[in-house]
């Protein structure tokens, strides 16, 4: 009789535990519908604390995390659910949600792999097939953009190298010009030539008026000399006259 009472009490306690678990799941579902996702999180965790195998609480907890954009945590939660359940359709749904979490995180390769796993579990899921196609397009766009960015970086590096070469050429030209200027300044022959040029007398210009005056002066002088000669002839003396022109 004691054993029977013990078994009955054990069954009653298990049933009460199960009731608590379902109560928390119901609370979580209500909060989820009201978009109170953090509160729903707590309710699902309480349900799991009562029964760690509560598959509904596991799956719904992943959904609540996804709605809060906690994608890394949502992926971990759905992964835990996949490992616990043997139901193919539920596994497919969990993989589908893992794919969505990766898609939102712009991890398109991982997203594609998750959708493929979902289709292996449930090949007739057209929603997953559509998401797989969308993820592939996004991956292609991402790769094309990355290629463009790399090409731009290469072009920038080329332009930088060209600018460096131009600067080097400019510096070389400047150095050449400096050397030329230095040679001009340091050449003693140039200095000597410059000094000699300065010392050379410039030829004076003689105007017509000046030439006429000089001619008149010479004529007057000659007249004076002739007059003196006449006087001396009278005295009987001979004079030799030389004239410099």
Answer yes or no: is 16 within a domain.
Answer: no
Answer yes or no: is 125 within a domain.
Answer: yes
Number of domains forming the structure of the chain: 1
Answer yes or no: is 180 within a domain.
Answer: yes
Average pLDDT, the chain: 79
Residue 93, burial from CB neighbour count under 10 angstroms (0-12, 13-18, 19+): buried
- CATH number of the domain at 124, please: 1.25.40
Answer yes or no: is 161 within a domain.
Answer: yes
pLDDT digits (tens, 9 = 90+) for 61-106: 999 999 999 999 999 999 999 999 999 999 999 999 999 999 999 9
Per-residue confidence band for 148, with pLDDT thresholds at 50, 70 and 90: very high
- When pLDDT is averaged across residues 135-144 and rounded to a whole number, the result is 96
Pick from 44-48, 141-145, 169-173, 201-205: least confident: 201-205
| CB burial string 193-227: b at 16+ within 10 A, e below | eeeeeeeeeeeeeeeeeeeeeeeeeeeeeeeeeee
pTM flag (> 0.95): no
Of 81, 80, 111, residue with least CA distance to 96: 111
Share of the chain above pLDDT 90, in %: 50
pLDDT digits (tens, 9 = 90+) for 56-66: 999 999 999 99
Answer yes or no: is 96 within a domain.
Answer: yes
């Amino acid at each position: 009789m004691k054993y029977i009472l013990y078994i009955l009490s054990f069954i009653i306690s298990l049933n009460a535990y199960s009731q608590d678990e379902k109560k928390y799941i119901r609370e979580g579902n209500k909060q989820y519908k009201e978009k109170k996702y953090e509160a729903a999180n707590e309710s699902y965790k309480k349900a799991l604390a009562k029964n760690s195998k509560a598959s509904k609480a596991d799956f719904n907890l992943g959904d609540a995390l996804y709605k809060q954009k906690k994608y890394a945590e949502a992926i971990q939660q759905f992964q835990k659910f996949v490992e616990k359940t043997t139901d193919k359709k539920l596994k497919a749904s969990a993989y589908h949600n893992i794919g969505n979490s990766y898609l939102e995180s712009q991890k398109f390769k991982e997203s594609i792999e998750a959708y493929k796993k979902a289709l292996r579990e449930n090949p007739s899921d057209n929603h997953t097939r559509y998401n797989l196609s969308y993820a592939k397009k996004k991956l292609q766009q991402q790769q094309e953009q990355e290629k463009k960015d790399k090409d731009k970086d290469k072009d920038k590096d080329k332009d930088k190298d060209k600018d460096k070469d131009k600067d080097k050429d400019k510096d070389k030209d400047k150095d050449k010009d400096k050397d030329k200027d230095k040679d001009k300044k340091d050449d003693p022959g140039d200095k000597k030539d410059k000094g000699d040029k300065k010392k050379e007398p410039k030829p004076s210009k003689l105007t017509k008026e000046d030439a006429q005056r000089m001619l008149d002066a010479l004529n007057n002088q000659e007249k004076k000399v002739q007059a003196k000669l006449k006087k001396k002839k009278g005295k009987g003396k001979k004079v030799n006259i030389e004239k410099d022109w």
